[in-house]
Amino acid sequence: MHALFASLAAFALAQAPAQNIDVAPLRTPPPMDTVLLPVANKPIVSFRLVFRSGSVDDPAGKEGLTNLTSDVLVQGGTKKLSSSELLEALFPMAAELEVYNDKELTAFVGRVHKDNLDRFFQIFTDVLLEPRFDPKELDRIRSDEVNAVKNHLRGEDDETLGKVALDAVLFDGHPYRHFVGGTVQGLQSITLDDVKAQWKRVFTKDRLVIGLAGAVDDALAKKVKDRLAALPDTGAPRVKLTPVPRRTGQALVLKKDALSTAVSMGYAYPLRRGDPDFFAVAFALSYLGQHRQSQGVLFNELREKRGMNYGDYAYAEHFIQDGWGANPRTNVGRTVQDFTIWIRPTEPQNAIFATRGALHFLQKLIDKPIPKGEFDAARGFLAGLTRVWEQTDQRKLGYAIDDRFYGTKDFHEAFRQALAAMTPEQVQAAAKRHLKVEDLNFVYVAKDAEALRKALTGGAPTPIAYPTPKPQDVVAEDKAFTGRRIPVKVDAVKVIDAQTFMEK
């Protein structure tokens, strides 16, 4: 509440109207819309069942219910198989059965060698249609999910903590606010009846897109559709997302015992796939900081030249890493997207300097067209990378299904065609329309939270003492940003103990 109040006050002072982000909901594909991608000579079958259901469907006070329900389905056994029998059945096939959750989408993923297709098909569909709802399994899975917040998120992964906290800042008061995995109190309040009810409410035919790839054909698609016809036609009415206010200049410091300081910044914005500016802005931000690639400006300027940390990246849409690689996870489709910059943990004394550096290089991207040589290199890189993103059948399915929700077509091909036609001036103009340093909000995970609060609002320069001599151009550029204003509103810095984060 405090943050919202402060931001409203600041808006009033600046005489800017308090605007909401104006954006249409994601599209609603027809019930059991099907994406079929057969691949010749491939021995593997991939299933991807994506429901237009996610943490936005969690009832107030039951935060985490959709995620927990999906995990109970996938892990908790079927009418025929207890949870341990389910594991025993899948194991000799090395079959994969997983679920991935986000704010608005939930993807049930199955993968199996065609030798074992019939057996797996039965199990995979039973998981959705005939769950066991064993109370003991609910207790077990819930306890894991409470720990995921209490210990793993709050205690063991400062980088993810910073990112989840940024979501909470950008979407305070909105159904996107809470961690997809839930809050401690929300999870604790969930009963088995809640889980059973949520299963019927959100995993329904009218919310489902079916994806099949690899050793698949029309007959298999029909078989899947026939079996899933047993799902309810419809359940809960679609959640009407409340408008997201344009929130800017907020800062949240999560205080915890940490060797280094993690930094995330960003804001919610209306830009998403399908918008005429999307590819240009996505390209600009790839140039600024493609995730875990050594090409980006931020990576080179902050890490390679200045030794600030392990990496620095920028994102045009909400980014979750797919497993251990550097690829974006698919089916993170959101009505309201966010632009973010991620500064991996720095030594505490350098956190503000690194923040200022990121703002400086972002401002350059907005102010000037990308130099031609760099533009061509970054374009070639991204064109190649889009092909890396579509290498597996599961990833192809994920993107094709996202297309159905965004109303786009053949995302990667369209991206490559758009890249081929872009000019530095067009990209700069699009960046200028959508990227604004002044609009950023900030999250820090840090030990000395008070010192950070003072530094953020005090505005004093943060000159840096390098352990090694730096080239003249680096030193000169440092001078240009070491006193740079960080656009945080004086009354909008909040400090909380990390141990209280996502309690409710």
> For residues 144 and 194, which CB has a smaller minimum distance to other proteins in the complex?
144
| C-alpha to C-alpha distance for 69 and 195, rounded to whole angstroms | 5
> For residues 222 and 387, which CB has a smaller minimum distance to other proteins in the complex?
387
- Interaction between residue 484 and other proteins (CB under 8 A): no
- Interaction between residue 260 and other proteins (CB under 8 A): yes
Three-state DSSP class for residue 385: helix
Candidate list 376, 413, 438, 497; residue touching other proteins; CB under 8 A: 376
- Interaction between residue 308 and other proteins (CB under 8 A): yes
> For residues 128 and 378, which CB has a smaller minimum distance to other proteins in the complex?
378
Query: Looking at the DSSP assignment, which residues form a beta bridge with residue 196?
Result: none
Burial 328-350 (b: 16+ CB within 10 A, else e): bbbbbbbbbbbbbbbbbbbebeb
Candidate list 19, 28, 423, 499; residue touching other proteins; CB under 8 A: 499
- Interaction between residue 256 and other proteins (CB under 8 A): yes
Q: Supply the minimum distance, in Å, between the C-beta of residue 148 and other proteins.
A: 9
Q: Supply the minimum distance, in Å, between the C-beta of residue 320 and other proteins.
A: 17
> For residues 304 and 448, which CB has a smaller minimum distance to other proteins in the complex?
304
- Taking CB under 8 A as the rule, which mask of x and - marks residues 216-255 in contact with other proteins? ----------------------------------------
Candidate list 306, 356, 434, 453; residue touching other proteins; CB under 8 A: 306
Strand order across the 96-101 sheet? 33-38, 208-214, 44-51, 106-113, 96-101
Candidate list 192, 236, 320, 377; residue touching other proteins; CB under 8 A: 377
> For residues 256 and 484, which CB has a smaller minimum distance to other proteins in the complex?
256
Tokens encoding 88 = 């025993």
| C-alpha to C-alpha distance for 10 and 342, rounded to whole angstroms | 25
Q: Can you point out the beta strands (E) in 105-217? A: 106-113, 208-214
How many CA atoms within 13 Å lie on the side-chain side of 192?
Answer: 11
Candidate segments 53-61, 82-90, 364-372, 424-432, binder of other proteins by CB under 8 A: 82-90
Question: By C-alpha distance, which of 84, 45, 47, 103 is closest to 318?
Answer: 103
Phi and psi dihedrals of 402, rounded to 5? -60, -40
Q: Supply the minimum distance, in Å, between the C-beta of residue 91 and other proteins.
A: 5
Candidate list 128, 208, 258, 400; residue touching other proteins; CB under 8 A: 258
Candidate segments 245-253, 306-314, 357-365, 430-438, binder of other proteins by CB under 8 A: 306-314
Tell me how many residues contact other proteins (CB under 8 A).
Answer: 79
| C-alpha to C-alpha distance for 397 and 387, rounded to whole angstroms | 14
> What's the one-letter identity of residue 24?
A
Three-state DSSP class for residue 53: coil
Q: Supply the minimum distance, in Å, between the C-beta of residue 374 and other proteins.
A: 8
Q: Supply the minimum distance, in Å, between the C-beta of residue 384 and other proteins.
A: 1
> For residues 36 and 377, which CB has a smaller minimum distance to other proteins in the complex?
377
- Interaction between residue 385 and other proteins (CB under 8 A): yes
Tokens encoding 71 = 């995990």
Three-state DSSP class for residue 136: helix
Q: What is the CA radius of gyration of the chain?
A: 23
Tokens encoding 471 = 């080239």
Tokens encoding 157 = 């992964």
Neighbours of 98 (CB within 10 A): 14
- Rule CB under 8 A: which of 92-131 touch other proteins? 92-96, 111-113, 115-116
Candidate segments 138-146, 173-181, 189-197, 403-411, binder of other proteins by CB under 8 A: 138-146
- Interaction between residue 158 and other proteins (CB under 8 A): yes
- Interaction between residue 347 and other proteins (CB under 8 A): yes
| C-alpha to C-alpha distance for 448 and 356, rounded to whole angstroms | 19
- Interaction between residue 139 and other proteins (CB under 8 A): yes
| C-alpha to C-alpha distance for 393 and 42, rounded to whole angstroms | 10
> For residues 22 and 257, which CB has a smaller minimum distance to other proteins in the complex?
257
- Rule CB under 8 A: which of 451-480 touch other proteins? 466-470
| C-alpha to C-alpha distance for 281 and 218, rounded to whole angstroms | 38
- Interaction between residue 291 and other proteins (CB under 8 A): no
